[in-house]
């Protein structure tokens, strides 16, 4: 089991969203914790600015101080929520109105962004975290990871369309939040190993 995308929404807004998307199963998405961590650090190398912050479990809006952080905080695109000992960046629909965000989503949908350097970095991080070469990078795994990233971009694009259509139809905005909760380190390790094994034999290098 990977770490899944959470979409939290009011009943009224959920009705508006499902009138556009129809099938709630289309909103399901998950990925492994190590993949998320690598994307947060790797995507900026490809020119992405907003999505790396979405994948960064330690992102604190307003504290980073770069231009992208200012854009996000200006529109109220992200806030922090603390539950117990965990503080999680919570993203709001306002972030999907940012033109740069939509450009990044469309760029992912239109082409394969990830390459073998990304896969090699995931393999390195997994080895460093677990002391075992549980992850084997190859072209088939790369194709799957690109498709999974495109699925996320499509979900966020569909949600952006819901924001647009609700405004056009009745002038009443939809409100929702979306985020990827990240458990504590011990739970991350358990979930990461389970995720890697779930992907099949190509992820596992037997000794």
Q: What is the mean pLDDT of residues 82-109?
A: 94
Q: Answer whether residue 147 shows pLDDT above 50.
A: yes
Please list the residues that pair with 31 across neighbouring strands: 3
How far apart CA 51 and CA 64 sit, in angstroms, is 15
Alpha-carbon separation of residue 185 from 35, 130, 173, 193 (angstroms): 15, 12, 37, 12
pLDDT digits (tens, 9 = 90+) for 36-91: 999 999 999 999 999 999 999 999 999 998 999 999 999 999 999 998 778 899 99
Confidence of residue 173 (pLDDT cuts 50, 70, 90): confident
The better pLDDT of the pair 137, 107 is held by: 107
How far apart CA 8 and CA 26 sit, in angstroms, is 15
Q: What is the pTM of this model?
A: 0.86
Q: Answer whether residue 113 shows pLDDT above 70.
A: yes
Confidence of residue 167 (pLDDT cuts 50, 70, 90): low
Mean pLDDT of all residues belonging to the chain: 88
| N-term to C-term CA, the chain | 24
CB 33 within 8 A of CB 41: no
Predicted local distance difference test score (pLDDT) of residue 192 = 57
Residues 6+ apart with CB under 8 A from 90: 78, 79, 80, 81, 177, 179
98-124 burial, b at 16+ Cβ within 10 Å, e below that, comes to: beebbebbeebbeeebbeeebbebbbe
Predicted local distance difference test score (pLDDT) of residue 175 = 92
Q: Answer whether residue 204 shows pLDDT above 50.
A: no
Q: Which of 7, 146, 174 is nearest to 90 (CA)?
A: 7
Q: Answer whether residue 203 shows pLDDT above 60.
A: no
Residue 40: strand, helix, or coil = helix
How far apart CA 203 and CA 137 sit, in angstroms, is 7
């Amino acid at each position: 089991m990977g770490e899944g995308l959470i979409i939290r929404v009011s009943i009224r807004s959920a009705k508006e969203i499902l009138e556009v998307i129809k099938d709630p199963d289309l909103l399901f998405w998950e990925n492994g914790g190590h993949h998320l961590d690598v994307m947060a650090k790797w995507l900026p190398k490809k020119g992405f600015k907003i999505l790396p912050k979405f994948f960064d479990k330690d992102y604190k809006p307003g504290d980073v101080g770069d231009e992208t952080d200012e854009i996000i905080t200006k529109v109220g695109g992200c806030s922090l929520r603390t539950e117990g000992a965990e503080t999680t960046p919570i993203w709001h629909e306002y972030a999907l109105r940012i033109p740069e965000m939509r450009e990044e989503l469309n760029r992912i949908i239109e082409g394969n962004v990830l390459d073998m350097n990304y896969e090699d970095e995931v393999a390195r991080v997994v080895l460093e975290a677990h002391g075992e070469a549980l992850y084997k990078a190859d072209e088939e795994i790369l194709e799957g990871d690109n498709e999974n990233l495109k699925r996320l971009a499509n979900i966020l694009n569909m949600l952006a369309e819901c924001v647009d259509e609700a405004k056009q139809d009745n002038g009443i905005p939809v409100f929702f939040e979306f985020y990827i909760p990240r458990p504590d380190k011990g739970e991350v390790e358990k979930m990461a190993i389970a995720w890697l094994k779930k992907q099949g034999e190509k992820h596992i290098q037997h000794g």
